[in-house]
Amino acid sequence: MSDVSLGLVGVGKIVRDQHLPALAATPGYRLLASADPHASLPEVPAYADMASMLDAHPELDAVAICTPTHLRHAQARLALQRGKQVLLEKPPGATLSEVEDLIDVASEQGVTLFAAWHSRFAPGVARAREWLAERRIERVEIVWKEDVRVWHPGQAWIWQPGGMGVFDPGINALSIATAILPQAFFLRQARLLVPSNCQTPIAAELSFADPDGATIEADFDFRQSGPPTWDIHVETDAGRLSLTQGGCRLSLDGQLSLEAEEREYAGLYARFAELVASGRREVDVAPLRHVADAFLYGQRDVTDAFIE
């Protein structure tokens, strides 16, 4: 097929840091326009809202929606109803009900809807999934810690309902775990640490188990200073797997198996192009469901107020 003509909805930090470089490095895309009431991109036609962008550019094939989570459902629904292919930045919605509705609308319209779990495109994830497929999982340790002031500077929405707090990065870990582990797993216990002046957690401790009794422990924290820790360690009946640096580094039984540069968003856009070309949809809600379970089932403890 010809190049996918794309509009970007929301042009904040994640778009500038990741989407734009990935689009520049991925053949098959033409960036035609952007929609954001507060920001624009050099030499790209800009509109205050997505409806205006779609009205001005009926030739658009697709939109990538990168706005704060609570805005995505209405925007994605409108784009789908206009017959546009839609890429949703993670998480794909503020609630599971919103995402299920978008799946229905995309099916009715016969267009592509892609829940873009970018961390699944980290270099070591596919090989980790293959290695674990024939092994029995015994224990999993997930440590996902970073400094919110570095990764979300001035983004007050992340502390409001729908903003997810520490689950904004933590869901990346869950997207990897649900991709590489051979069985589903289920929340058994959760502790959420919520700053006294916020609505969402700054840290979370989660305990899961799979049907065979393997334990999965996750430790998420937004208060880490210095370099982030994005690690998953899996003990199996036939050795240990470590997927570290967000999935860029894979070790098997202590031996380095793979180390590569992070190119998640290039892989993400390549996958979106494949889905658009074949007219398929790809919307996995498992990572979001785990977050919803944590909010539903978790114990909430108040901690120190967050001051940026």
Q: What residues act catalytically?
A: 90
Q: What angle do CA 275, 279, 285 make, to 5 degrees?
A: 60
Q: For the stretch 79-114, what's the b/e string if a residue is b when 16 or more beta carbons lie within 10 angstroms of its beta carbon?
A: bbebebbbbbbbbbbbeeebbebbbebbeebebbbb
Beta-bridged to residue 250, according to DSSP, are 243, 258
Q: How far is the C-alpha of 237 from the C-alpha of 254, rounded, in Å?
A: 15
Residue-level length of the chain: 308
Q: How far is the C-alpha of 63 from the C-alpha of 47, rounded, in Å?
A: 13
Q: Which pair of tokens denotes residue 144? A: 């996902």
Q: Which pair of tokens denotes residue 182? A: 């051979």
